[in-house]
């Protein structure tokens, strides 16, 4: 009995590349579909990861130690306020580095007294502590924040969106708005506040001014608390009982950084549409490779016949064509991964983000390309392996 015909594993790779090297342009064109699919997958995953990484970096730079204390919606559904003593109580918690309260007032703000009352532009008027800007790590776009002096005066600091809605682009001097039933000087405009976006659409006045100028009681409706970073959890656990010892269940404590991160994760879900487009491109790419390989089998009947004559078994011929299809798809996958990564880098660069491409996305995309090629090569390989050697040689 003769020794079995066998093909060494080390010879499969060079065999797979034979067809690619023989017709490089055709191989490149048939790999294009897979390349586009993989590039789409990598780009979508990379851009959404970069955007998320950027947001997290931004939140980290602002500190993840900010907590907010607010009244929870009462059982009746009516908004409640925190006890007037709450800010002072919270400030006494050891690891609290700074805190600032705001109080939503039932007033509206207008560009001038001639504006109809209904055109309030959904801007909330709030009394704010002078330490608010430091506690939320906000920055001024123009002018200055409320201080010990202006907190007593009819002076207002506008959030970024509130200023835009009112059509105000400078602060100080003689810029005024109509607030309550009198004119207030605009002393400052804030930049967007990442950790407290609710301030972007607010007009802030000092607590003393709320009492003395607007004649409001101004009970705190929100307290911003900056805790020692190593004791955030400890502070969080005692905040509600400290703010309202009588009914801690009426107090809700939140971590804005957590909420923002969760929102970023949720927005990644929108990427699924693009991911499915990438999957369609991969499917079409796989069909394209199968098509080209079927033609290659017809063209290379002579080679197939010769290989059978040299002792190749059916499985060796089939393996050659499957691995050739896989090689084409893999090359497309690698090219696509590089293209996708470049797209992410360019997009992130334009937005001044750092580029973050999850390694799992790269590996997954290349793995999918491998699978697409292998599946696309199955049918042509089966046809090649079923050719009878004499017939293949005759028809060549």
Partner 1 sequence: MSALVLDAVTKEHPAATPVRALCDVTLRVAAGEFVAVTGASGSGKSTLLAVAGTLERPTSGSVQVAGTAVESMSDADLSAVRSNHLGFVFQQFHLLPTRSVLQNVSDGLLYRGVPASERLARAADAVAAVGLAHRRTHRPAELSGGECQRVAIARAIVGRPALLLADEPTGNLDSATGDEIFAVLARLHEGGTTILVVTHNEELARRVPRAVALRDGWIERDERR
The answer to whether the CB of 336 falls within 8 A of the CB of 37 is yes
CA–CA dist 380, 246 (Å, integer): 77
Minimum gap (Å) between residue 1 Cβ and partner 1: 7
CA distances from 389 to 164, 323, 384, 394 (A): 80, 21, 10, 9
Minimum gap (Å) between residue 307 Cβ and partner 1: 8
Minimum gap (Å) between residue 384 Cβ and partner 1: 14
Q: Under the rule (CB under 8 A), what is the footprint of partner 1?
A: 1-8, 10-11, 18, 21-22, 302-303, 305-314, 316, 388-390, 393, 396
Tokens of 95: 């690891």
The strand ranges marked E within 202-348 are 202-206, 222-227, 251-254
Q: H-helix or E-strand containing 97?
A: strand 96-105
Minimum gap (Å) between residue 303 Cβ and partner 1: 6
216/316 with CB nearer partner 1: 316
132/384 with CB nearer partner 1: 384
**24-28, Cβ contacts within 8 angstroms, sequence gap of 24 or more:** 26/292, 27/328, 27/331, 28/331
Minimum gap (Å) between residue 313 Cβ and partner 1: 4
201/308 with CB nearer partner 1: 308
171/331 with CB nearer partner 1: 331
Tokens of 244: 């309202």
Minimum gap (Å) between residue 290 Cβ and partner 1: 23
Minimum gap (Å) between residue 317 Cβ and partner 1: 10
8/174 with CB nearer partner 1: 8
Q: Quick check: helix, strand or coil at residue 186?
A: strand
Give the up-direction half-sphere exposure of residue 311: CA atoms within 13 A in the CB hemisphere. Answer: 6
CB-based burial label for 98 (10 Å; 0-12, 13-18, 19+): middle
226/307 with CB nearer partner 1: 307
- Give which of 343, 330, 337, 340 is closest to 376, Cα–Cα: 330
CA–CA dist 54, 60 (Å, integer): 10
Minimum gap (Å) between residue 13 Cβ and partner 1: 11
Instruction: Say how many Å lie between the first and final Cα of the chain, rounded.
Output: 31
298/370 with CB nearer partner 1: 298
86/328 with CB nearer partner 1: 328
**269-273, Cβ contacts within 8 angstroms, sequence gap of 24 or more:** 271/44, 271/45, 271/47, 271/48
CA–CA dist 263, 253 (Å, integer): 18
Minimum gap (Å) between residue 54 Cβ and partner 1: 48
Angle between helix axes 359-386 and 314-350 (nearest 10 degrees) is: 150
Q: Which residues pair with 165 in a beta bridge?
A: none
5/73 with CB nearer partner 1: 5
Give the up-direction half-sphere exposure of residue 152: CA atoms within 13 A in the CB hemisphere. Answer: 2
- Give which of 41, 30, 111 is closest to 332, Cα–Cα: 30
Minimum gap (Å) between residue 329 Cβ and partner 1: 20
7/342 with CB nearer partner 1: 7
């Amino acid at each position: 009995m003769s020794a079995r015909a066998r093909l060494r594993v080390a010879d499969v790779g060079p065999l797979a590349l034979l067809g690619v090297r023989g017709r490089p342009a055709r191989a490149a064109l048939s790999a294009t579909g897979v390349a586009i699919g993989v590039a789409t997958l990598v780009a979508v995953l990379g851009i959404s990861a970069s955007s998320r990484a950027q947001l997290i970096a931004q939140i980290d730079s602002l500190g993840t130690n900010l907590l907010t204390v607010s009244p929870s919606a009462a059982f009746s559904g009516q908004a409640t306020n925190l006890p007037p003593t709450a800010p002072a109580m919270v400030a006494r918690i050891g690891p609290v580095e700074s805190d600032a309260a705001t109080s939503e007032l039932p007033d509206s703000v207008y560009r001038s007294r001639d504006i109809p009352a209904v055109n309030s532009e959904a801007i909330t008027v709030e009394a704010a502590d002078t330490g608010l800007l430091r506690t939320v790590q906000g920055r001024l776009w123009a002018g200055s924040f409320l201080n010990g002096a202006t907190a007593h005066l009819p002076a207002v600091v506008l959030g970024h969106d509130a200023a835009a809605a009112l059509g105000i682009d400078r602060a100080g001097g003689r810029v005024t708005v109509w607030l309550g039933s009198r004119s207030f000087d605009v002393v400052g405009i804030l930049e967007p506040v990442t950790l407290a976006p609710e301030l972007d659409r607010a007009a802030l006045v000092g607590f003393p001014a709320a009492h003395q100028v607007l004649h409001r009681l101004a009970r705190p409706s929100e307290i911003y608390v900056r805790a020692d970073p190593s004791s955030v959890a400890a502070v969080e656990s005692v905040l509600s009982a400290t703010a309202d010892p009588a009914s801690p269940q009426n107090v809700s404590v939140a971590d804005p950084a957590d909420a923002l991160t969760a929102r970023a994760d949720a927005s990644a879900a929108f990427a699924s549409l693009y991911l499915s487009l990438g999957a369609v491109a991969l499917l079409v790419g796989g069909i394209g490779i199968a098509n080209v390989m079927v033609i290659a089998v017809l063209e290379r009947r002579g080679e197939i016949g010769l290989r059978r004559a040299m002792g190749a078994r059916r499985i060796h011929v089939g393996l050659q064509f499957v691995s050739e299809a896989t090689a084409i798809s893999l090359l497309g996958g690698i090219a696509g991964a590089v293209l996708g990564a470049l797209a992410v880098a360019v997009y992130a660069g334009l937005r001044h983000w750092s580029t973050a491409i999850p390694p799992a996305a790269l590996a997954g995309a290349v793995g999918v390309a491998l699978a697409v090629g292998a599946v696309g090569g199955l049918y042509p390989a089966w046809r090649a392996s079923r050719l009878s050697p004499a017939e293949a040689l005759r028809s060549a």
